[in-house]
Amino acid sequence: MEIITTVKNMQTLSGKLHKNRYIGFVPTMGFLHRGHLSLVDRARSMSDIVVVSIFVNPKQFGPSEDIKTYPRDFEHDRRLLEEVECDILFYPDVGDFYPQGYSTNVEVEGFDTTLCGARRHGHMRGVATVCMKLFNIVRPQLAVFGEKDYQQVIMIKKMVSDTNLDIEIVTSPTVREDDGLAVSSRNIYLNNRERKDAAVLYQALLFGKKLIEEGENDAYKVVKAIQNMIEKKTTARIEYIEVVDSQNLKLVERIEGPVLLALAVYFGRTRLIDSIVVIPERFQRR
Amino acid sequence: MEIITTVKNMQTLSGKLHKNRYIGFVPTMGFLHRGHLSLVDRARSMSDIVVVSIFVNPKQFGPSEDIKTYPRDFEHDRRLLEEVECDILFYPDVGDFYPQGYSTNVEVEGFDTTLCGARRHGHMRGVATVCMKLFNIVRPQLAVFGEKDYQQVIMIKKMVSDTNLDIEIVTSPTVREDDGLAVSSRNIYLNNRERKDAAVLYQALLFGKKLIEEGENDAYKVVKAIQNMIEKKTTARIEYIEVVDSQNLKLVERIEGPVLLALAVYFGRTRLIDSIVVIPERFQRR
């Protein structure tokens, strides 16, 4: 595996490679886990060359957020990536990636009114901007994103389509622990009690799914049912539980088509997100 | 000359061409004149393939601005481009370029506080966005812009550098009529009297340049001198006259390095812009 630490060197290499090789790209913030590795596998199966980036992007953290304490372990990441036969690891530093005086932002309208976009000011813009830059530097034909960050995936697809980037965006299902908890770099912050309680998230989402599949079409009632389950866990503090259209992420009151059940919940000081897509049975039949 | 009218066809062609041909690109809003043709010549001399786009970009016009009356003459443009041996004319329509639901914007901070950026709300963002899209569709290695739209050129260079686009931005000097008036598509709107009066713009800029070269370093006095000259013309109505740093376009009070003298002046209902770079003699000597 080749490790590239400057934007310039990455761009020189990708400028050559992308002419006759199909580059599959997995952007990450490092502290890799099985979820990331499943994305690398996916990229591997669809490309000639797999590039993984590790870059903790300051632009997608709010001023009060956890960038300084965001977990990092480069040596561990490097070993994992070698095991899964990643070809190129792009590992730039912040000052090279956003030089002094950096001032360009990419914004996809309509992503700051629901889900994480409504709570994390500037987060979605930060994600769009870093992806645009990474795409221009790595020049992949394909990029793989995890469905766990569902809103992010929908936004990146929209940005790529709107700005005519010639990149196929592929998604890969959320990877879960045995008890259903979505695998996340942030899970290491959970103490034993919080870790145990956090399993409720997926259980509650599955319960909401069941309600919809059994005919419930009132989004408020579904949210309430999920909320009641989560609130039984004493370490849980709900940030949001929302039912949105799974395509455009707009809030839904009556469930009449495919929806995303999505939530963000704190366990202690650790914010976790999860979501599932639900397609009502009566909709499937049509 | 090949004429391509859809984004998809242009992108298919450029996807092949850019792998082994050096593509020079000149984005325009059509109604071509000698200024545009000088840009095409410049691109021609530096590239294998010259692509010119004609697209009147709605995103760079404000709600009260002149998009509907912006002059158009496709047949004339086509003939001119054939004469200068343009290889590919990209001529998309608005609905194809910005499909229903389009929602991505590119913004370069700091360009909405001086010059045209401060007066035309959303203009600079519209220019950045259309250029990003055009660059992704045409995939040029080089793009040529006229120095007449000086603020635009500086912004595009910043955007390209910030977002790691692998495109060389080349500039070409403002082309002028015999009396010094900068050639512009909007000049056809001037009646005889206005056309005659409009020659004052370049004369006034040259006068300001002379003052600076003779030692004047108070930007206010230079602006006043330019203003006095222009106000003698009864059809002129000044929008702005500004002295800014020629690199970062920030307003300058004391002239201590290279500056841009820039102005926007209405003659009747027609808004004209012009500018020149001035390097004070004492600065040249260093």
- Cα–Cα distances (Å) from B144 to B43, B50, B161, B241, in that order, read 6, 10, 15, 26
Mean pLDDT of chain A: 95
Question: pTM of the predicted model, to two decimals?
Answer: 0.94
Question: Looking up tokens 């808004």, which residue turns up?
Answer: B271
Confidence of residue B69 (pLDDT cuts 50, 70, 90): confident
The strand pairing partners of B272, in sequence order, are B265
Q: CB-based contacts of A82: which residues, under 8 Å, 6+ apart?
A: A1
Q: How confident is the model at residue A284 (pLDDT cuts 50, 70, 90)?
A: low
- The ranges of chain B annotated as CATH 3.30.1300.10 are 185-285
Q: B185-285, what's its fold?
A: Pantoate--beta-alanine Ligase; Chain: A,domain 2 (3.30.1300)
Position B169 pLDDT exceeds 70: yes
Q: Which of A276-285, B78-87, B173-182, B260-269 has the lowest mean pLDDT?
A: A276-285
Q: Compute the average pLDDT of residues A257-270.
A: 96
Over residues A237-263, the pLDDT tens digits come to: 999 999 999 999 999 999 999 999 999
Distances (CA, A) of A72 to A2, A28, A67, A149, B263: 20, 12, 10, 19, 52
pLDDT at A69: 87
Residue pair A222/A180 in contact by the 8 Å Cβ criterion: no
ipTM above 0.85, yes or no: yes
**What's the half-sphere exposure (Cβ side, CA atoms, 13 Å) at A173?**
5
Distance (Å) from the C-alpha of residue A4 to the closest C-alpha of chain B?
16
Task: Name the residue facing A162 among B104, B162, B164 (closest C-beta).
Answer: B104
**For B9-38, what is the mean pLDDT?**
96
Mean pLDDT over the full length of chain B: 95
What is residue A285's predicted lDDT score, i.e. its pLDDT? 55
Backbone torsions φ then ψ of A25, nearest 5 degrees:
-125, 135
Q: How far is B189 from chain A (nearest CA, A)?
A: 34
Q: Which residues of A touch B (CB under 8 A)?
A: 7, 11, 15, 19-20, 102-110, 128, 132-133, 136-137, 158-159, 162-166
Q: What is the pLDDT of residue B56?
A: 97
Q: Scanning every residue of chain A, which has its alpha carbon at the shortest distance from the alpha carbon of B19? A: A19
The topology under which CATH files domain B2-172 is Rossmann fold (3.40.50)
Q: Is the pLDDT of residue A286 over 80?
A: no
Domain boundaries for CATH 3.40.50.620 within chain B: 2-172
Helix axes of A34-46 and A74-83: crossing angle, nearest 10 degrees: 40
B36 is catalytic: yes
Q: Which residue from A20, A158, A165 is facing B103, i.e. has the nearest CB?
A: A158
Tokens 């766990």 map to which residue?
A148
Structure tokens at B53: 């786009």
Segment A180-201, tens digit of pLDDT: 999 999 999 999 999 999 999 9
Averaged pLDDT for residues A229-233: 97
Contacts 24+ apart (CB under 8 A), A273-276: A273/A116, A273/A148, A273/A149, A273/A182, A274/A148, A274/A174, A274/A182, A274/A201, A274/A202, A274/A205, A275/A147, A275/A148, A275/A150, A275/A205, A276/A205, A276/A206, A276/A209
